[in-house]
Amino acid sequence: MLIDDLAREAIEKNIFPGCIIGIIEKGGRKALPFGRHTYAEDSPVVTENSLYDCASLTKSVVTATLALQLLDEGKFALESRLVEFVPEYRTRHHEAVSIRHLLTYTLGNTLPLSTLEDKTPDEIFDAICTEETHEPGTVFNYSNTPAFLLGIIIERVLAKSLDKAAQERIFDPFGMKSATFSPQVAVPTEVGVQDIVHDESARVFARAEKTVGHAGLFASMNDLLLFVEHLLLIRDTRLSTNQIAHLNASTALGWELNQPHFMGSKRRTHMFGKTGFTGTSIVVDYEREKALIILSNRTYPHRPKDTSVINAFRSGLCDIVFSI
């Protein structure tokens, strides 16, 4: 099946009203838009400049990138302790938590932040700082909390908000002209949710005009193509090397690694990427010098019961793009 066929079939099946697919390979890059912002016939058509809620891509594109920059600058080390920067963190294992645990999602926490949507920002912060966890480094558990805490560390080290740090250190240098945490006109993610982050806990902070490390980035395909081209250029092996093989699991620093549920049957052990709840994803293969980016609003008009359908779409595209 061709990419065009796969995308149009997904729209016909109401997986999403529209999407844009970005591909980078040795011959250059291309952006392929399909469908509309919503299912309404008069809804705007998707273009290269359509601004999408990137959801958890925020964790990798913004938070992990800033953290790795600060590691390179010696502002902290992988073994630096969380409590050095966030003394409010006071769980039973608080002295043992390191930057490494946050970047590899081995903090050991289990609290879903989406359950705190009725709390204030201060109450959410306090809940995170007091949640009892497994011993850090003993279990891989992907959640929002590690990226949230990493965002707090970055803000305190740089003495500026996360959105300003991203603007100065990522968006401006890479030429990402529409990337933002404060969208004016974005593709809706759900009925009644537009121009504000879809993630429930991140939305609490956004309404208080605060940015967080686990969600909130809005970007166009042009923005993400520029960002991923940078990743292919620098070939940072920290993004493509398994950090938790001793746990019989796989993740890189700030990025997911070798994940069959969205990287397809052509994946290799070094391929890294990230997905976002709204229907976004990035997959990068240094060896093939290729990358695939998907922006969609699969949560419109209402969020599906699970991710099986969007992951089948992601995997199908990966099988096409990474077949050589």
pLDDT per residue as tens, the chain (324 positions): 799 999 999 999 999 999 999 999 998 999 999 999 999 999 999 999 999 999 999 999 999 999 999 999 999 999 999 999 999 999 999 999 999 999 999 999 988 999 999 999 999 999 999 999 999 999 999 999 999 999 999 999 999 999 999 999 999 999 999 999 999 999 999 999 999 999 999 999 999 999 999 999 999 999 999 999 999 999 999 999 999 999 999 999 999 999 999 999 999 999 999 999 999 999 999 999 999 999 999 999 999 999 999 999 999 999 999 997
* SS3 at position 102: helix
Structure confidence at residue 110 (pLDDT): 87
Q: What is the CATH number of the domain that holds 31?
A: 3.40.710.10
Region for 16 from its dihedrals, namely left if φ exceeds 0, alpha if ψ lies in -120 to 50, beta otherwise: beta
Residue 109: other Cβ atoms inside 10 A = 24
Structure confidence at residue 232 (pLDDT): 97
Region for 251 from its dihedrals, namely left if φ exceeds 0, alpha if ψ lies in -120 to 50, beta otherwise: beta
- C-alpha–C-alpha distance, residues 116 and 127, integer Å: 9
What's the angle, vertex CA 108, arms to CA 105 and CA 110, rounded to 5?
Answer: 100
Structure confidence at residue 27 (pLDDT): 82
Question: In the chain, how many H helices and how many E strands?
Answer: 12, 8
Structure confidence at residue 159 (pLDDT): 98
- C-alpha–C-alpha distance, residues 59 and 255, integer Å: 8
User: Dihedral of the CA atoms 217, 220, 225, 230 (nearest 10)?
Assistant: -40
The alpha carbon of 143 is separated from its chain's Cα centroid by a whole number of angstroms, namely 11
Q: Tokens 């043992």 map to which residue?
A: 96
- C-alpha–C-alpha distance, residues 199 and 184, integer Å: 17
The one-letter amino acid code at 90 reads: R
For residue 7, CA distances in Å to 139, 151, 299, 305 come to 37, 34, 16, 21
% of the chain exceeding 70 in pLDDT: 100
The one-letter amino acid code at 100 reads: R
- Contact by Cβ (8 Å): 228, 63: no
At 289, give phi and psi (nearest 5°).
55, 50
Number of domains in the chain: 1
Q: Which range of residues forms the domain containing residue 29?
A: 3-36+45-321
- Stretch (H or E) spanning 233: helix 221-234
Q: Note the pLDDT tens digit of each residue in 292-309.
A: 999 999 999 999 999 999
In the chain, DSSP assigns E strands to 18-25, 28-35, 52-53, 218-219, 256-257, 272-276, 280-285, 290-296
